[in-house]
Every structure is written in C-alpha cells, then in structure tokens.
Amino acid sequence: MAYPSLALSRRNRRRRWLLIALVLVILAAITALAVRYRTERRGVADYFAVADEVVATHDAVAADLADVMAGVTTAERPEVLQRLANLEAETAQALQDLDEVAVPASVAEAHGYLLVATRLWGRAVGEIDDAFVMVLDQPNDPSGQEMLLVAFDELRVGDEAYAQFVDSLDDLDADLVTRDFGPVAYVGTAGGNGYDPQLLTLQLLAAYNLGEHHDISVKATTDPAPVGERDAVPVVPYSEGFVVQAVVANEGNSKEEQIEVTLELIARNGEEDSVILTGTVESLEPGEASTLAFDSLILRPGGLYELIVSTAVAEDIEVANDAWQMVFYRNENA
C-alpha cells in the first residue's frame, strides 16, 4: 500500500524542478532586462555627450555671429568674411558629429528636434556669409537682402526647434538625461525680434571698410644689387647673369587672381633692343605677397639701362605703387 506515497513523492519532485526552472527563467529575464537597461543608459549617455558638444558649439557660434553683426560698421572686410567662414565651418562640423552619433530609440524624438535645429542654424550661417558678399559686391541687386531675410527666418525656426528639443527631455526618464541643456537662441542673441535684414543691408553698404578695394603693389631687387654710383646713377657690378626679383603684394582687401607682371629692360644708349618679359602670380589673398624671378637678362658691360617692373589690376585704388623703376649702369670691367 506504499504506492500513493511514492506517487506523491514523484509529483513533489516534479513540482520542485518546475519551480527551479521557473526561477531560472525569471532570473534570466531579469538579467537580460538589466543588461539591456545598462546598454540603453550607456548609449543615451554617449548620445547626450555628443549632443552637449553640438549645443555648446552653436551657443558659441550664436554669440560670435552677434558680435560680427554688431561690428560691421567698423570691421575690415577680410576679417568679417573670414570670421563668417570660420563660423560656417564650425556649424558644418557640429552637424557632421550629430549625423554620425548612434541614436538610441528612447531619444529618437529629441534627436529629431536637435537635428532640425542644427541643420537650420548651419545653413543660415552659410547663407549669411553668401549674403554679405552679395550685398557688398552687388549693391544694386536685391538678392542679398532677400538672402538675409531667409537666413534670419531659418535662425528663428532653428531656435524654436531647439526649444522643442529641450522640452522633449522632460518626457524621458530623469536617470537617462545626464546633461543639462541650457537655452540657445541665435535670434534671441540679437535682441528683440532678431536681426533686421534691411537695416543690416544699409549698414553694410555704408561701411567703407567692407567695400571691395583692389590695391596691388610691386617692388623689385636685382642680383647683383647696385654697388656705388657714377654721376648719381647706381652701378651694377659685372656678373655672369642678371636676375630681377619682383615682389608683388596684395595691399587691398579682396583676393586677386591672375596678376600679370611686366618687366621692361630699356637700353638707353640705343644700341640694343629693349626686352619685355611677363610673368603671372596665380592668386594673392589680402595681405599676401609673392616673388617672381626674371633671370633671362643679358647686360652689355658699360651700358646704361632703365628697368621698369609694373603690374595692375582692375579698379586699383592706388596706382602710385603699381610700378618700380631703376636707371643704372653696368660695370665696364667684364
């Protein structure tokens, strides 16, 4: 009569094993959830680290842009355009960083708002750069002012998208938001209702320093250089060759390209034909200089020569520095 007891014992063992299996399944599920939660937290933390850098970049760019706008009436053209180009490069890098970061599902909505803000801000900064050039170089074309209007509207919409990004963080688990995102506003930085495209256009056109000023200068040295004088005329000592080095400088505020330089070597005694040589400087940024060497020159011992090195660009505002001239003797001691 031991059979019922044996059957009960088997049922108890079966229940025990089922309970153990259930506990193991629950533990595995809890472990998987914990791992997934830690992975999610890590991914969100990595995302917010990049987002924080992007926001900090735009916060600084907004302040720098406001500074550029405030100083347009006194700043020099190369400085203004270079600063705008630098700001455009910074916003492009911020957008690239945001495009490349992994976006966890829990922050997808917030990311969407930040991405819209970043794209609009960056595009607007680039358009402002282009609009400045348009207004300054084509003052009778209304396109420049229209470009400014579009850019300022994009800045405003970008500000609104960023505000939505900050608001969306309130819907996330407080433990996931590891960064404190403060206010960023391009238009707010400008004060009041933002930038006024019409006023800015007038300021740009009234600022002389922002106008396009062309000024190329040239000076020259010779090898060998003159040593002593004869009747107040410099004397170049005899040598196997004679080289003229023309130093061309851009003293204006606009980039110059394909600058032609002309050398004239005129024999004053009339016994030789004049020599005319040309060279080209590919490009010069404002403040830059370049040297051209003319070395295929032959001088007769005892000859009297006039050397003229000249250059010019369209609308040059200072013609007095467009040419360099020297009259000299060649030493007779060959």
Does the pTM of the predicted model rise above 0.75? no
- Condensed to tens digits (0 to 9), the pLDDT of residues 57-69 reads 999 999 999 999 8
Assigned token pair, 57: 């970049």
Per the CB < 8 A criterion, the answer to whether 218 and 321 are in contact is yes
Per the CB < 8 A criterion, the answer to whether 97 and 48 are in contact is no
- Condensed to tens digits (0 to 9), the pLDDT of residues 273-325 reads 889 999 999 999 988 999 999 987 889 888 999 999 999 888 887 888 999 99
pLDDT in tens, the chain (334 residues): 455 665 656 666 666 666 665 555 555 545 444 444 455 678 888 988 999 999 999 999 999 999 998 888 888 888 888 999 999 999 999 999 999 999 998 888 989 999 999 999 999 999 999 998 888 888 888 888 999 999 999 999 999 999 999 998 888 877 777 778 889 999 876 655 578 888 888 888 776 566 677 899 999 999 999 998 888 999 999 888 899 999 999 988 888 999 999 999 999 877 778 899 999 999 999 889 999 999 878 898 889 999 999 998 888 878 889 999 999 999 887 5
Say which residues have a Cβ less than 8 Å from residue 73's Cβ, sequence separation at least 6.
Answer: 203, 206, 207
Query: Burial, 310: exposed, middle or buried (Cβ in 10 Å; 0-12, 13-18, 19+)?
Result: middle
